[in-house]
Structures are given as C-alpha cells and as structure tokens.
Amino acid sequence: MKGFFITGTDTDVGKTWFTARLCRFLRQNKIDCGIWKPVQSGFPANASDSDRSILKDIAQLDDSIDEICSMTFEKTLTPFLAAKAEGKTIDWQTLMSHGSLLANKHDCMLVEGAGGIAVPITENKMMIDLAVELNLPVIIIARPGLGTINHSILTIDYLKQHGLTIAGLIMNGYDNTHEFAKSLSEIKNWTSIATNPLLIELFSNQQILGKIPLDNDIVDISDFIDRKKLINLMNDQLN
C-alpha cells in the first residue's frame, strides 16, 4: 500500500476532518487517492455523522462506507473494548485483508487511525502495529495550544522507536488569526499557540505541513497546507 498513515496526538484532534479534506485535495490534483478507516467506534453503523460517512462525503469517494470501514462499533471505547462490548473480537487477518482489497482499487491511500497511536485494537495489537505493518509515512494531527509540544514529541518518538518515517505534523484548530514565531530570538511575550509550531519543529526535527483554522465551512484546505510538499511526498511514492 502507498500513501500516508494519519494519526493524532489524541482522539478528537481532527483526524477525520483533515483526512477527508486532504483526500479531496489530492483527488482534485489528479491523484487517485482512497481512504481506509480500519476501525471506527462511537457511532451506530449507519449514522450519517460517523467517520466513514464523513470521509466518503467530503472526499467524494465512490467506495461504499463498508469498504471505507468494515469494522464499526457503537460504543465510544477503544476498538478492542468497543468490539468486546458487542461480544466480538477483531480478527487481524480479516481486518488487514479488507484494507488490501480497498487499496487495490486506488493508486494510494490515506489510512485514518482511531484515537492516538497507542490504542488497543485486539488483545495483543495496537494502532502502532497496524501502522508498522502498513509501513506508510505518518502524518500526525496535533492541537495548537498548551500541551501539544509534549503530546507531539511523545507521538513522534514512539513512531520513530517503531521504525516509522514521519512525513510531518498538521496543527489543527486555530480559533483566531495568529502570528507565528519564526525563530527563537523573536520570542518575547509570545503565547503558547504562537510558538508551539516553531518549538515542535526545533525539538523534533520534523516539519509542520499545515496550520488549520477551526472553521467547519472550510472544505478546500489548500490555503492552509504545504501543497507542494504533500503532493511531492505522495508522488515520490507513486513514481
């Protein structure tokens, strides 16, 4: 499989919001990109506001919601427990084969994790094991404000410990227009929000690929991301 694995520093950081829009952006740039959501929890199977429905609608995918996500559980719990609550266990081989089948229909994929990267899927597999098996470069979605340096760097280090390549981070959910610090020497009375991107880049040696405002009316994210970089990172895999 080619593409990106999309994880977050936490649940509710905007993985689905961003993944759907990145896919839409790539498709508008003539890249045949699909989305695989291996497991979703927290929604009735056919809820119109479930991750898989949002991913399909915003990214304008022809794939069915069952192809996009074949394993869906109602309880808002980590996938392992959400499945258990329904008396089910997630079969790893079946799960992975669903991903391969869908990936065969597209040139590349965005794979949206569930929760963060250290999240149990079965009694002995976590989201990190899925990411390692796919071995895709990872995009990390992070919050803009206080706490995000810690969460981002821990996520980066955990991915690196498992041998994964990190494509970069997306800071998602700015609620105002912000000016951002560009160098340490500029920083005086800056807010956490204004300095976090710089500090994350400096301490992690990873790049911020986008800074996205909190605005549900945004469907086209091209003004807020490093367009060239993201397209090149994908095309490098396809060529």
Ligand X SMILES: Nc1ncnc2c1ncn2[C@@H]1O[C@H](COP(=O)(O)OP(=O)(O)O)[C@@H](O)[C@H]1O
Q: Which positions are catalytic?
A: 37
Q: Shortest gap between Cβ of 142 and Mg ion (angstroms)?
A: 14
Element (H, E) at 209: strand 208-213
219: contact with ligand X by CB under 6 A: no
Question: Binder to ligand X among 3, 4, 9, 15 (CB under 6 A)?
Answer: 15
- How far is residue 78 from each of residues 18, 84, 148, measured CA to CA in Å? 21, 10, 22
Total residues interacting with ligand X, rule: CB under 6 A: 14
Q: Shortest gap between Cβ of 112 and ligand X (angstroms)?
A: 7
Q: What is the distance between the alpha carbons of residues 124 and 90, in angstroms, rounded to a whole number?
A: 11
8: contact with ligand X by CB under 6 A: yes
17: contact with ligand X by CB under 6 A: yes
Question: Binder to ligand X among 38, 173, 197, 210 (CB under 6 A)?
Answer: 173
Contacted entry of Mg ion, ligand X, none for residue 172, CB cut-off 5 to 8 Å set by kind: ligand X
176: contact with ligand X by CB under 6 A: no
The token pair at 76 is: 């808002």
79: contact with ligand X by CB under 6 A: no
Per CB under 5 A, residues contacting Mg ion are: 15-16, 51
- Return phi, psi of residue 3, to 5°: 135, -150
215: contact with ligand X by CB under 6 A: yes
13: contact with ligand X by CB under 6 A: yes
Q: Is 166 helix (H, G, I), strand (E, B) or coil?
A: strand
Q: Within its chain, how far is the Cα of 97 from the centroid?
A: 20
Q: What is the distance between the alpha carbons of residues 102 and 108, in angstroms, rounded to a whole number?
A: 10
Q: Shortest gap between Cβ of 219 and ligand X (angstroms)?
A: 11
The answer to whether 176 and 125 have CB atoms below 8 angstroms apart is no
